[in-house]
């Protein structure tokens, strides 16, 4: 069935559901049955590769139905666990084009500027002040009594600092996306530039290379993933305003917010997890080989989670 025929067949159902959702609770007797049919429509649209706009519209309608029917139950821990295990990775995979765009904005400048600085260290001063580069070098210098940015002393205080720093960066990246999505991409791009400069600058000196990479290898798996997810969510909000489709801009923004809520919450959880590792693990005095091994495991787990979690039966059970 072509998409136009599919829409013509089921548009009355979608309109009826929209009308039911506008009624009071006592006027929604038919909603459970309509909800089941709507989930079938969403499954068919995904399987047949219909346009992202249609799938996104159905996602939003399903989310509103689910909230109307199970809003209270959705707060139960078991449902929240299912939401994190399944809905989050599925939503990220559904937005794979945005994922690639944000990854390109992060890794593109990081790699390009990193190679530029690696080729000639003087190029680093084009992107960072001498004072900033000197400070970073001192932080990771073997002569320093502390490892990395905070050392192993005052871990709890540093944990709070890292939470504030990481979450604020992610939130600003997400919130700025409402202005057409461009500021969110610029925020990711700026962080990629800084990452490339610092990594290349510290890697040039063997004295700081090991300290730096052993410090960041573990928590970066969560921190950078959280930043990418925040950027994705921000761009999606911006696109909802720029290209609302059949919906009004206000309605399109509401639908995009519902769809991106798992992504935003997942980004926040990842950045908090990154802060925990950064404060209590990264600054520890363990051997670099141990940190590299744990870091590799964390990166692999993050990749496998978003690539594999939420597949199989019951795909639409919690949407």
Quickly list DSSP for 166-226: HHHHHHHHHHHTTTTTHHHHHHHHHHHHHHHHHHHHHHHSHHHHHHHHHHHTTTHHHHHHH
- Polymer length of the chain: 319
Q: What is the CA radius of gyration of the chain?
A: 23
Q: How confident is the model at residue 79 (pLDDT cuts 50, 70, 90)?
A: low
- The residues near 7 (Cβ < 8 Å, ≥ 6 apart) are 54
- The residues near 275 (Cβ < 8 Å, ≥ 6 apart) are 159, 162, 163, 165, 166, 167, 219
Of residues 98 and 23, more confidently modeled: 98
Return the pLDDT at 265. Answer: 87
Q: What mean pLDDT do residues 47-65 have? A: 86
Check pLDDT > 70 for residue 241: yes
Q: Look at 93-102, 119-128, 178-187, 206-215 and tell me which has the smallest mean pLDDT.
A: 178-187
Least Cα distance to 181 among 252, 270, 111, 112 occurs for 252
The number of angstroms, rounded, from the C-alpha of 281 to the middle of its chain's C-alpha atoms is 23
Tokens 């969110």 correspond to 184
Q: How confident is the model at residue 151 (pLDDT cuts 50, 70, 90)?
A: very low
Return the pLDDT at 155. Answer: 57
Q: Is the dihedral of CA 60, 61, 62, 67 positive or negative?
A: positive
Percentage of the residues of the chain whose pLDDT score is greater than 70 = 86
Taking the C-alpha atoms of residue 166 and residue 186, their distance in angstroms, rounded to an integer, is 17
Helices 31-47, 52-70: axis angle to 10 degrees equals 150
Q: What mean pLDDT do residues 223-230 have? A: 95
């Amino acid at each position: 069935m072509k998409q136009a025929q599919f829409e013509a067949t089921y548009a009355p159902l979608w309109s009826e559901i929209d009308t039911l959702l506008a009624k009071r609770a006592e006027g929604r007797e038919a909603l459970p049955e309509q909800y089941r049919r709507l989930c079938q429509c969403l499954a068919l649209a995904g399987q047949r590769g219909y346009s992202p706009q249609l799938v996104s519209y159905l996602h939003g309608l399903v989310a509103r139905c689910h909230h109307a029917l199970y809003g209270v139950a959705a707060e139960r821990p078991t449902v929240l666990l299912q939401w994190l295990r399944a809905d989050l990775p599925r939503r990220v995979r559904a937005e794979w084009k945005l994922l690639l765009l944000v990854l390109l904005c992060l890794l593109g400048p990081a790699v390009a500027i990193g190679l530029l600085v690696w080729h000639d260290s003087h190029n680093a001063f084009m992107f960072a002040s001498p004072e900033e580069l000197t400070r970073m070098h001192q932080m990771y210098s073997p002569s320093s009594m502390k490892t990395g940015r905070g050392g192993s002393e005052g871990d709890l205080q540093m944990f709070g600092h890292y939470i504030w720093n990481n979450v604020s960066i992610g939130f600003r990246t997400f919130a700025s996306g409402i202005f057409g999505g461009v500021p969110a991409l610029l925020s990711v791009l700026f962080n990629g530039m800084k990452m490339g400069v610092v990594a290349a600058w510290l890697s040039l000196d063997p004295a700081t290379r090991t300290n730096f990479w052993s410090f960041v290898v573990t928590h970066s798996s969560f921190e950078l993933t959280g930043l990418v997810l925040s950027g994705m969510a921000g761009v999606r909000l911006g696109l909802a305003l720029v290209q609302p489709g059949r919906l009004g801009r206000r309605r399109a923004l509401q639908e995009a917010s519902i769809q991106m809520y798992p992504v935003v919450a997942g980004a926040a959880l990842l950045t908090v997890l990154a802060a925990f590792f950064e404060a209590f693990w990264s600054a520890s005095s363990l051997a670099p080989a141990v940190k590299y091994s744990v870091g590799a495991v964390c990166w692999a787990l993050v990749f496998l989670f978003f690539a594999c979690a939420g597949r199989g039966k019951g795909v639409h059970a919690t949407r």
